[in-house]
Chains A and B, each alone.
Chain A
Amino acid sequence: MNAFPSTSRQPAALFDRTLLRGAVRDAVIKLNPAAQWRNPVMFTVWLCAALISVLWLQALAGQGEAPAGFIGANAAWLWFTVLFANFAEALAEGRSKAQAASLRSLQSRGNARKLRAGDDTGWDSVDLTTLRVGDRVRVEAGDLVPCDGEVIEGAASVDESAITGESAPVIREAGGDFSSVTGGTRVLSDCIVVRCTVNPGDSFLDRMIAMVEGARRRRTPNEIALTLLLVSLTLAFLMATATLLPFSLFAVEAGGQGSAVTVTALVALLVCLIPTTIGGLLSAIGVAGMSRMLAANVIATSGRAVEAAGDVDVLLLDKTGTITLGNRQAAAFLPAPGVSERELADAAQLASLADETPEGRSIVVLAKQQFALRERQLLSHDATFVPFTAQTRMSGVNWAGRQIRKGAAEAVRRHVEALGGGFSPELQRIVDDAARRGSTPLVVADGAQVLGVVELKDIVKGGIRERFGELRRMGIRTVMITGDNRLTAAAIAAEAGVDDVLAEATPEAKLALIRRYQAEGRMVAMTGDGTNDAPALAQADVAVAMNSGTQAAKEAGNMVDLDSNPTKLIEVVEIGKQMLMTRGALTTFSLSNDVAKYFAILPAAFAATYPQLGALNVMQLASGESAILSAVIFNALIIVALIPLALRGVRYRPLGAAALLRRNGLVYGLGGLLLPFAGIKLIDLALTALHLA
């Protein structure tokens, strides 16, 4: 699935020992009701645990409504339920914090050379935390860049491996698309002047750390909507269980037999019914989603953006670098009439031997592949290479009396006509056909004789077609954006298998396209790196800026890809989807669980008033007390059992919505319905065997 693997900042193994220890400690600290208040479902459990603990104390004093051991065991397991949920959250946060710590170690500390205002040479050494937007700093070889900013003077090679994991240094220079530098990277050579574009604490690194640590993790819209649902379910179940007390008092009075249901049983029923599984794991899922994003080397500026990634309907992809390899490559030799393909290939190879451009290399390689023509060492044979110039717009070689030239059709035509030759109509047709296919025809001539055409094509990246097929199965439209003319664009689009194409794209056209999709209610994602991408990035719902891109692009986007890999968008979409799927799956699971819990607890709770309800005890649980306790224990343990799922996320498969739902509905809905019957029965057997209840 992961065609473009990224290696750095993988989250720690799920159950790293130190992380576990920290999480256990944090779980206990989070018992503080002030911390619980944020999560209404678990706060309800907390209150229930407190209430049962009081009842237990009362029972110890001999005033209990049930045996003290039974109440005490219930109280203990309710506290465990809260602790387990805390533990899940703490574990997720711990893993993120470990990632954040590795990031923080990059943060530059110490002093910076701040240029004095209105003075281009004088500088003061200041603490870099005092730098503000607009301040200019001088960064010399060996220095860490003190802030995110823009190079306004000079050029330097910069080691960005700390951020991107890419070891080769990159050139950053004033002006153009390579002017942005990131705080924490190291200048290797030369000296540049950088203008700070963010205040300390607002840099990408800072934002990333804040996001990861959860300090600024706000609830996403989906999370809020889900929380609303969970709270209302909790209220409904509170109502259903609380009213059972008057109902049972009435039953006792009307029937003249038995005793009312115990508060312990009702509270146990309540905690089992309310969606504790999803309630306890909800924030862990969110934190883990951010963490996965970071592991993919993408910094999201908000959880909202991550979530929106799951909703993307349309992907806008730049042709160059994303869909095609960066450069055109020789694809075929098309000889002129009377010339063999081999002759043409041989001449073309000779003409390209000294050509170090990617196109030139590709001609040499193609000739070698098709006709096993070896590269010849021509230097010893007294050959003269003719380099490409803007005037001739041709390159070639003079060797052994031959004058071999290759170049654009017009340039070569002028060249041969000057020598008394010319283009035959057949050749002209070959040239035109190639152009119509979206290729670039390169004409090869030997003296006045035209040998034929080398067809240069945009080469679509391997596997990209399959990738787009996957996206289509996910229901996502792909749109290729290119500056090429329509003809060329359409040809490449057909080969790459994109759904739509925007040719001759201008920044305005891109913006208009995004707006048009959005007006249809679609969510648009795009990647970009140039300053002219900034308006479109700002308009897109999910906008991934390349870390190698300009500062303007990065500011406009809501995510930054540290690897500067344009196809990363696909991974981003998957991570967003996984997060939503995990929430949905656990909600379904949580609700389905309730059926079995009713069958366990209802007959037990009403055994005294209505022994006939024993007919509901389909699991044949040993006793009322063991039935209630088993349900409570199952309810607590299932949280622990699902922590790995919450942290890893439900596996995403590129299927349509209907197929995904069928699959997840069966696994988590039907599974959630059946599993507790087995689980509660097993716990009941264990409790009975151990004489605990």
Chain B
Amino acid sequence: MTTQMWMLLATFVLAVWLIAVPLGRVLALLVERAPQPLAGVERRLLRACGVSGAEQDWRGYAGALLLFNLAGALFLYALQQLQPVLPLNPQHFAAPTWDSALNTAVSFVTNTNWQGYAGETTMSHLTQMLGLTVQNFLSAATGIAVAFALMRGFARSAAAGIGNFWVDVVRITLWLLLPLSVLLALAFAAQGVIQNLSPDLTVALLEPLHTDAGVVGSQTLAMGPVASQEAIKMLGTNGGGFMNANSAHPFENPTAWTNVLQMLAIFAIPAGLCMAFGRVVGDRRQGWALLAAMTVLFVAAVAVILTQEQAGNPHFAALGVDQAASALQAGGNMEGKEVRFGIAASALFAAVTTAASCGAVNAMHASLMPLSGGVALLLMQLGEVVFGGVGSGLYGMLLFALLAVFVAGLMTGRTPEYLGKKISPAEMKPVVIAILVTPLLVLLGTAIAVGSEAGRAGLLNAGAAGFTEVLYAFSSAANNNGSAFAGLSANTPFYNCALALAMALGRFAVIVPVLALAGTLAGRIRATRAATDSVSAALPTHGPMFVVLLVLTVLLVGALTYLPALALGPLVEHINLIR
């Protein structure tokens, strides 16, 4: 790793922490109420919508959430199917196939934003705005709402309710996501991210292009309202690009600065939620512990990816290609990367986007070195808890915290407890269900795909690399990441349906148990430990030891479940490469 990389990584981590602290304050405030001048507006809007704002128990909360998301999915499906007859379709795009529309609808509603289609040649401006941008907001708000509910579950003592979903989703969208998105979108636009409603633009080429089909003298550029979608795509850890090349496209991510902003935007809310958690449960060290565990896992992952990518491809070296970093070039494995990002910013972005369940890419993950790709895969397979998705990262990490505390707590000779709440079978059940769901979907999905003709039909690369494409697709879908080893031709009925199922279950079969957990926890009495207790009888969950414990639990559960699959994909590829 070069000095430049260390500087970038260190600055980035520091910036994330610095953003997390004030943002955590705001988020913690939103858990309880709307900021003062806006509270009246919120109340009036909710009343107009017929929302009473009364506390819901977990079943009521989950019911409202599922209903709301179902409405979103149906609307997005219909919007795609109707786009030929709707306005703001300057390129006159036809409706996508039913399976592609279904996949896209589920994908955006579940905060996955897996894209089986190419944005600039499929979706009208209206679909991008009214369908995709909307779900970028709402799926993010849904995830944060679940995190809010779980925070309340921990903080409350002997309470029946975990909040009101309608209030939460409106409050999060209007007072958190919307203002941040406006600011970020304008910053992007200033740097060159396009924002217009124009049809494709044709410009003359400096040098006519001679092809087999004849001479081409012009270049057509896709246009659209990109900056507005780009902002929420990052802030909401959505990751679905306006363009096919996603954040590698110069119109989505034109400069090194927009790139840094994008990475910070991805981590901002997941990190801020950790801080908010600490505030809500009344012990900020608890939030720092979670953030520290996430940071440790993240930095380790970045280190591997950076080192691997900078070392470059041995096959290229044999062909007389210069991959050494110097003052004049980034060097390294530049296949599938952009010069303005080089190795450092591409590798960092790859780690950020897979650590968080964003899935935006500024480099093609399929062309990463095998071990880097493996680390990106593992970051998703760990359950998207290393920062993770907005909301889902925190609640996923809290599931692991409960698991860690359970095993470790037993070792201290007490019924394990976290934040003064005992972990009984009633808590354990939702935890293990939520943790089991995604490995089940990933492994079964991959097995079915590589075992079927329909699944094998879409592979671009052969052998272990092909296997990795499929494993990556299901890992990405079930964990609601959305990035891809894009060699896989996934826009087929088989993959569209299989991945849609994986995304839906990976999202809601986790959310429902998490809400059940929130409900159970809220009903428990929270043990308050007196300050006079010099020695904590319960395992402390804020120190370095807990951080180590949490990191090990996340790694152990993830590694033990996925090691065989990873060995057959990235590991074999890596050994092939170096021998």
- A–B direct contact (CB < 8 Å): yes
Interface residue? A70 (CB, 8 A):
no
Interface residue? B420 (CB, 8 A):
yes
Chain B residues whose C-beta falls within 8 Å of the C-beta of A610 in the assembled complex: 464, 568, 572
Please report which residues of chain B, range 406-438, place their CB below 8 angstroms from some CB of chain A when the two chains form the complex.
406-415, 420-425, 427-429, 432-433, 435-436
Write the chain B residue with the least CB distance to A273. Answer: B560
Interface residue? A169 (CB, 8 A):
no
Q: Are A251 and B424 in contact (CB under 8 A)?
A: no
The distance from the CB of A502 to the nearest CB of chain B, in whole angstroms, is 16
Chain B residues whose C-beta falls within 8 Å of the C-beta of A661 in the assembled complex: 408, 411-412, 539, 545, 549
Interface residue? A577 (CB, 8 A):
yes
A584: contacting residue among B410, B462, B575, CB under 8 A: B410
Stretch at the interface among B23-31, B131-139, B255-263, B525-533: B525-533
Task: Report the bound CA distance from A660 to B557 in whole Å.
Answer: 23
B535: contacting residue among A520, A587, A588, A656, CB under 8 A: A656
Task: Report the bound CA distance from A662 to B408 in whole Å.
Answer: 9
Chain B residues whose C-beta falls within 8 Å of the C-beta of A237 in the assembled complex: 560-561
Chain B residues whose C-beta falls within 8 Å of the C-beta of A669 in the assembled complex: 552
Interface residue? B440 (CB, 8 A):
yes
Interface residue? A668 (CB, 8 A):
yes
Interface residue? A5 (CB, 8 A):
no
Q: Are A229 and B413 in contact (CB under 8 A)?
A: no
Interface residue? A193 (CB, 8 A):
no
Given A243-B565, A583-B410, A587-B407, check contact A475 B537 (CB 8 Å): yes
Chain A residues whose C-beta falls within 8 Å of the C-beta of B535 in the assembled complex: 472-475, 656-657
Chain A residues whose C-beta falls within 8 Å of the C-beta of B406 in the assembled complex: 225-226, 229
Most chain A CB atoms below 10 A, which of B446, B463, B565, B576: B463
Task: Report the bound CA distance from A307 to B414 in whole Å.
Answer: 8
Chain A residues whose C-beta falls within 8 Å of the C-beta of B427 in the assembled complex: 225
Given A225-B425, A236-B436, check contact A521 B526 (CB 8 Å): yes
Q: Are B425 and A236 in contact (CB under 8 A)?
A: no
Contact pattern, A 637-669, Cβ under 8 Å of B = 1, otherwise 0? 000000000000000100011101110110011
Q: Are B539 and A662 in contact (CB under 8 A)?
A: no
Q: Are A226 and B410 in contact (CB under 8 A)?
A: yes
Contact pattern, B 548-578, Cβ under 8 Å of A = 1, otherwise 0? 0100100011001111110110011001100
Interface residue? B210 (CB, 8 A):
no
Task: Report the bound CA distance from A516 to B155 in whole Å.
Answer: 20
Interface residue? A174 (CB, 8 A):
no
Interface residue? B534 (CB, 8 A):
yes
Given A247-B446, A587-B410, check contact A240 B567 (CB 8 Å): no
Write the chain A residue with the least CB distance to B429. Answer: A228
Task: Report the bound CA distance from A313 to B527 in whole Å.
Answer: 10
The distance from the CB of B404 to the nearest CB of chain A, in whole angstroms, is 11
Task: Report the bound CA distance from A235 to B464 in whole Å.
Answer: 26
Interface residue? A580 (CB, 8 A):
yes
Q: Are A664 and B538 in contact (CB under 8 A)?
A: no
Given A521-B526, A584-B409, check contact A311 B414 (CB 8 Å): yes
Q: Are B563 and A310 in contact (CB under 8 A)?
A: no
Q: Are B527 and A521 in contact (CB under 8 A)?
A: yes
Interface residue? A246 (CB, 8 A):
yes
Interface residue? A365 (CB, 8 A):
no
Write the chain B residue with the least CB distance to A223. Answer: B425
Chain B residues whose C-beta falls within 8 Å of the C-beta of A231 in the assembled complex: 432
Task: Report the bound CA distance from A269 to B565 in whole Å.
Answer: 14
Q: Are B444 and A239 in contact (CB under 8 A)?
A: yes
Chain B residues whose C-beta falls within 8 Å of the C-beta of A499 in the assembled complex: 532
Interface residue? A104 (CB, 8 A):
no
Please report which residues of chain A, range 652-693, place their CB below 8 angstroms from some CB of chain B when the two chains form the complex.
652, 656-658, 660-662, 664-665, 668-669
Given A237-B560, A254-B467, A521-B420, check contact A578 B413 (CB 8 Å): yes
Interface residue? B151 (CB, 8 A):
no
Given A221-B424, A225-B424, check contact A243 B447 (CB 8 Å): yes
Interface residue? A424 (CB, 8 A):
no
Write the chain B residue with the least CB distance to A247. Answer: B568
Interface residue? A399 (CB, 8 A):
no
Most chain B CB atoms below 10 A, which of A269, A273, A591, A661: A661
Interface residue? A334 (CB, 8 A):
no
Write the chain A residue with the least CB distance to B409. Answer: A584
Given A222-B415, A236-B439, A311-B414, check contact A657 B537 (CB 8 Å): yes
Interface residue? A602 (CB, 8 A):
yes
Interface residue? A101 (CB, 8 A):
no
Q: Are A248 and B568 in contact (CB under 8 A)?
A: yes
Please report which residues of chain B, range 489-540, place their CB below 8 angstroms from some CB of chain A when the two chains form the complex.
524-528, 532-540
Write the chain B residue with the least CB distance to A475. Answer: B537
Q: Are A239 and B439 in contact (CB under 8 A)?
A: yes
Chain A residues whose C-beta falls within 8 Å of the C-beta of B563 in the assembled complex: 240, 598, 602
Q: Are B463 and A228 in contact (CB under 8 A)?
A: no
Chain B residues whose C-beta falls within 8 Å of the C-beta of A228 in the assembled complex: 425, 428-429, 432
Interface residue? A31 (CB, 8 A):
no
The distance from the CB of B397 to the nearest CB of chain A, in whole angstroms, is 18
Q: How large is the interface on A (under 10, 10 to 19, 20 to 34, 35 or more residues)?
A: 35 or more
Task: Report the bound CA distance from A45 to B526 in whole Å.
Answer: 40
Interface residue? A87 (CB, 8 A):
no
Write the chain B residue with the least CB distance to A256. Answer: B463
Q: Are B463 and A255 in contact (CB under 8 A)?
A: yes
Task: Report the bound CA distance from A249 to B450 in whole Å.
Answer: 9
B446: contacting residue among A226, A243, A584, A594, CB under 8 A: A243
Write the chain A residue with the least CB distance to B411. Answer: A584
Write the chain B residue with the least CB distance to A314. Answer: B537
Task: Report the bound CA distance from A17 to B442 in whole Å.
Answer: 51
B413: contacting residue among A247, A254, A310, CB under 8 A: A310
Interface residue? A287 (CB, 8 A):
no
Q: Are A660 and B528 in contact (CB under 8 A)?
A: no
Q: Are A250 and B412 in contact (CB under 8 A)?
A: no
Q: Are A232 and B432 in contact (CB under 8 A)?
A: yes
Chain B residues whose C-beta falls within 8 Å of the C-beta of A520 in the assembled complex: 525, 527-528
Given A251-B464, A472-B535, check contact A584 B412 (CB 8 Å): yes
Chain A residues whose C-beta falls within 8 Å of the C-beta of B432 in the assembled complex: 228-229, 231-232
B411: contacting residue among A250, A472, A598, A668, CB under 8 A: A668
Contact pattern, A 254-279, Cβ under 8 Å of B = 1, otherwise 0? 11000000000000010001000000
Chain A residues whose C-beta falls within 8 Å of the C-beta of B284 in the assembled complex: none
Interface residue? B543 (CB, 8 A):
yes
Chain B residues whose C-beta falls within 8 Å of the C-beta of A522 in the assembled complex: 527
Chain B residues whose C-beta falls within 8 Å of the C-beta of A602 in the assembled complex: 563-564, 567
Task: Report the bound CA distance from A219 to B329 in whole Å.
Answer: 65
The distance from the CB of A22 to the nearest CB of chain B, in whole angstroms, is 30
Given A232-B432, A660-B412, check contact A474 B537 (CB 8 Å): yes
Interface residue? B579 (CB, 8 A):
yes
A662: contacting residue among B413, B545, B552, B571, CB under 8 A: B545
Chain A residues whose C-beta falls within 8 Å of the C-beta of B444 in the assembled complex: 239, 243
Task: Report the bound CA distance from A167 to B194 in whole Å.
Answer: 95
Contact pattern, A 89-116, Cβ under 8 Å of B = 1, otherwise 0? 0000000000000000000000000000
Q: Are B571 and A613 in contact (CB under 8 A)?
A: yes
Task: Report the bound CA distance from A254 to B466 in whole Å.
Answer: 9
Write the chain B residue with the least CB distance to A597. Answer: B560
Q: Are A246 and B429 in contact (CB under 8 A)?
A: no
A656: contacting residue among B424, B536, B562, CB under 8 A: B536
16 further A-B contacts with Cβ under 8 Å, apart from A236-B560, A474-B537, are: A226-B410, A229-B403, A232-B433, A237-B561, A243-B444, A246-B447, A250-B450, A255-B464, A310-B414, A311-B414, A473-B535, A520-B525, A522-B527, A580-B413, A587-B407, A657-B412
Q: List 8 A-B contacts (CB under 8 A).
A: A232-B432, A236-B557, A239-B444, A244-B565, A250-B450, A587-B410, A588-B411, A665-B411
**Chain A residues with a Cβ under 8 A of chain B:** 221-222, 224-226, 228-229, 231-232, 235-237, 239-251, 254-255, 269, 273, 307-308, 310-311, 313, 472-477, 499, 518-522, 576-578, 580-581, 583-585, 587-588, 591, 594-595, 598, 602, 606, 610, 612-613, 615-616, 652, 656-658, 660-662, 664-665, 668-669
5 closest cross-chain pairs (CB), A and B: A475-B537, A584-B410, A521-B527, A577-B413, A584-B411
